[in-house]
Amino acid sequence: MRVGFIGLGSQGGPMARRIVEGGFDLTLWARRAASLEPYADTAAKVAASPAELGAASDLVCLCVVGDDDVREVISGENGVLAGMSSGSTIAIHSTIHPDTCREIAELAASKGVSVIDAPVSGGGPAVEAGTLLVMLGGDEADVERARPVFATYADPIVHLGPLGSGQVAKILNNLLFTANLGAAMSALELGESLGVPRDRLCEVINRGSANSKALGSIAAFGGTLDNLAPIAGALLQKDCRHAAALAEDASAAEGAVFDAADAALGLMDHPR
């Protein structure tokens, strides 16, 4: 299988390297030449445009930031889809609204190209360890064709249902993570007001039954959200907006998990 990859950031870059080191014929494209320099020591080829990358690929993996970024690299006369052949597949690793996946799938279907959503969780260290979580939505046959590529960097690889299901799972995962950040900060601030140093309380909770990924992240960034906000704040805000839109579409009450998430996002916007 010939693979194309766009989105060579802190997460996508290690994914691309694992693919080419796994023996797949890999083609890369990036807006900036500097983004391609780390792959000069690999067998990866470089395309002059997204369309050229599409023409060279049976599977195109996208790991760009948001909905508009995905639309931009896929559509238009120089977009990925312009070069792709019937029977090929686009895998969207970006976290975007499920409706955007369906919009892109409708566009791609006119060329006989299939789309699967494949958002990920775990970050660069999980990629390097081969333990990235991939959440998949789409036709089972399309998912199974792409699975050997995903297996170069991921375990587990979970097929959740039809197109958009992976995005729903990732958005809810990030909503809960954000809510956990808010709950953890509330506990740390309460402990501090009761005379327990924040760093010591982090140490205790990290070894106790209340431990969580969120608390571990706060502890790693000095016991506050101030240093975490520049890295994750905007992305978590985007995903929580998507979660709110999904809840509204489902006529679901937004409850305590949204309140805790809002509290965490508020702390990121107004550090103290």
Q: Are 142 and 116 in contact (CB under 8 A)?
A: yes
Distances (CA, A) of 157 to 3, 154, 160, 219, 241: 18, 6, 10, 29, 26
3-class state of residue 62 by DSSP: strand
Q: Are 204 and 184 in contact (CB under 8 A)?
A: no
The count of residues in the chain is: 272
3-class state of residue 244 by DSSP: helix
- In sequence order, the β-bridge partners of residue 114 are 89
Burial 231-242 (b: 16+ CB within 10 A, else e): ebbeebbbbbeb
CB neighbours of residue 67 within 10 Å: 20
User: How far apart (Å, rounded) are the C-alpha atoms in residues 9 and 22?
Assistant: 19
Distances (CA, A) of 266 to 136, 216, 222, 231, 262: 31, 20, 18, 15, 6
Which residues 6+ apart lie within 8 Å of 186 measured at CB?
263
Residue 238 falls in the annotated catalytic set:
no
Which residues 6+ apart lie within 8 Å of 231 measured at CB?
none
> Which of 45, 111, 170, 213 is flagged as catalytic?
170
User: How far apart (Å, rounded) are the C-alpha atoms in residues 210 and 218?
Assistant: 14
So which residues are the catalytic ones? Answer: 170
